Amino acid sequence: MLKKSLLILCTILCFVFMVSCGENSTKIPKTGDETDDQADESSDDENAENPDNEGDTDSSEENPDANDNPEDPTTDPDENSEDPEKETTTVAEPSHDFETKTDALIVTREEFADVFKKFAVFHTVTGINTKVVTVENICENAVCDDDDPMNDTQKAIKDYVKAIEGLRYLVLGGDIEIVPSREVHDHFELPLGIADYTDDFYSDLYYADFSDWDLNGNGTYAEDEDVPALIANVAVGRISVSTVEEAELYFSKLVKHHTAFNAAHTTKSLLLANIATELSGIKVNAGYYFETEGKTISQIPMNYSIKKLYTQSTPFPGGNTAQYLDNDSEKAAIEEGMNLIIHSGHGAPWLLTCEQGTDPDRDFSRTMAYNLENETLPFFLSCACEAGQFGYKNGDSAGENLMNAPKGGAIVYLGNTTTGLGIAGGSQFIDEMMKNMFAFPYSVIGESYLYAHFSMPQSDTFNPPIQMVNINVPVVNKDSWTWTKKSIVMLGDPMTVFWRDPVEPSAAEIEPEVEENEGVKTVSFNFTPDLEGSALRIFADGNLYDIPYLMHETVKINLDPSVTMITVGIKAENSQYFFKEFEL
């Protein structure tokens, strides 16, 4: 009898256990601290958060066997499971931030406005909100009396630039006849009769430094008594073109540099050195400055290859690591493909690099610069005299020709509009730029320009290679610091990226899908999982659509049916930019 009773009890317990498991197998069990009321609330919350659960009906009760057997061939495993890579859809709205925030400004003339709007869109979709304003627009609301140096176009432009809160980059879109520069006065002297210069020359730093450059109000700018700060508040670069065709050419170079840069050339650099000066009958080769500990070569990463071309001299810097400089070797090295070129030596408006006096074998002319055929466009940083003189009266200077070369040249040229001071200032400025350029995997060159203006030393010495003499000659003082700051000009776009590390072009392949319905044109883009984490920006009809962190998703924007063109930019950590215009 007892045996029969135990058997009945076991059967009842098994039945209760099976029913209990069948009803609650998909629910989280209560913990010892959870009350029955809390458990009920939790269950209600789960239903509220899951849009698939409607009302109080439990799908597991309607079909208790639906999830009991994951290997049931009649069950689709994707039907009731959450896919972590499931594609989502985002309908993007125009960015309010773009309307209110200007990171960069391009100043140009009306006839160049359309082409420079292409620059603005390119930078905007790749991360920098950029606007265009014309000189004509500025002068509509300001006094632009070019017969009055205290109320001329230059002052109106500077006042306009200063009024933009948060501005970081300034592009002067055109040569000096398109966007004027400020003529300044300066005097420079080094002790021991080494140098003594006085000159009036053009300085684009006038626009970047927001301090007063005519404090005494006499119409002569940047005199000593005017005490300008000479610290750049914005990074200024001049795209020194004279025609729309030249601007279009530079734009194509800019896009190629950011989207199709030859990664194999990333770690290639070139050093060019002339005889800097003569001390005690010894010709001082600028290559000695490069080789001095803590100077130029010390700024270049160990994984970079460095080609050295130095003027033949005794003593000769670099030993067997350097080769003799001449025009043929310089041309061949540039066309080999360099990411960075540093030049310390001489120049002229018509000569990119040269020796003092006449030496045809080392006079690299502006014509040679214009005829270069190099696939990779380098950052060419030089302290040469006058080669960056965009106000040259007899055509374009050598630096301008380098930038406007139809088959090569440079993507950015740093030079001087007047006498360059070489190892007495210019080289120190370049060294400071390099410190910033190599501090990040990729960096905007305007940031390096700002860093150099902030950190360039106001004093420095150099130990020339004179046998039996160990003397540090003063080469930078307050005069040379001031002169260098005013005379340096950056030709090119200050928002250009310097690729420190090799990264390949973007492999993104996207095409828009377009449909029109009830007076709305909907444009859709489908993005694959490999683009997750990238920043996506779309520019259409004057509006910016910003997706700062791309998921595995479809992005849609709704446009007026009249819109026929949109532009897409994608920035990812481990690739170059994606940039493409689409006709709808």
Helix (H) or strand (E) run with residue 324 in it? strand 323-324
What does the pLDDT read at residue 193? Answer: 62
pLDDT in tens, 17-76: 333 333 333 333 333 333 344 344 444 444 433 333 333 434 333 333 334 444 444 444
pLDDT in tens, 450-498: 999 999 999 999 887 665 567 788 889 999 999 999 999 999 999 999 9
In a 3-state reduction of DSSP, which class is residue 68? coil
Q: Mean of the pLDDT values across residues 125-154? A: 97
- Rounded Cα distance between 153 and 139, Å, is 7
CA angle 138, 404, 370 (to 5 degrees): 150
| Nearest residue to 295 via CA among 443, 453, 436, 462 | 462
- Rounded Cα distance between 411 and 408, Å, is 9
Question: Which of the two residues, 69 and 223, has the higher pLDDT score?
Answer: 223
Query: φ and ψ at 558, to 5 degrees?
Result: -105, 125
What does the pLDDT read at residue 283? Answer: 83
User: Is the model's pLDDT at 231 over the cut of 80?
Assistant: yes
What does the pLDDT read at residue 339? Answer: 98
Q: What band does 155 get if pLDDT is binned at 50, 70 and 90?
A: very high
Asked whether 138 and 160 are in contact (CB, 8 A), the reply is: yes
| Nearest residue to 240 via CA among 412, 445, 443, 117 | 412
Q: Which residue type occupies 489?
A: V
Asked whether 133 and 107 are in contact (CB, 8 A), the reply is: yes
B/e letters for 240-265, b = 16+ CB within 10 Å, e = fewer, are bbbeeebbebbbebbbbbbbebbbeb
For residue 315, whether the previous peptide bond is cis, meaning omega lies within 30 degrees of 0, is yes
- Is 532 exposed, middle or buried (CB count within 10 Å of its CB: 0-12, 13-18, 19+)? middle
- Rounded Cα distance between 240 and 219, Å, is 26
Contacts of 21 (CB under 8 A, 6+ apart): none
In a 3-state reduction of DSSP, which class is residue 20? helix
Q: pTM for the complete prediction?
A: 0.84
In a 3-state reduction of DSSP, which class is residue 404? helix
Domains in the chain: ranges and CATH? 41-81 (no CATH), 254-499 (3.40.50.1460), 504-583 (2.60.40.10)
Q: Mean of the pLDDT values across residues 405-412? A: 98
- Rounded Cα distance between 150 and 217, Å, is 7
- Is 170 exposed, middle or buried (CB count within 10 Å of its CB: 0-12, 13-18, 19+)? buried
Please report, to the nearest 10 degrees, the dihedral formed by the alpha carbons of residues 217, 222, 228, 231 taken in order: 140
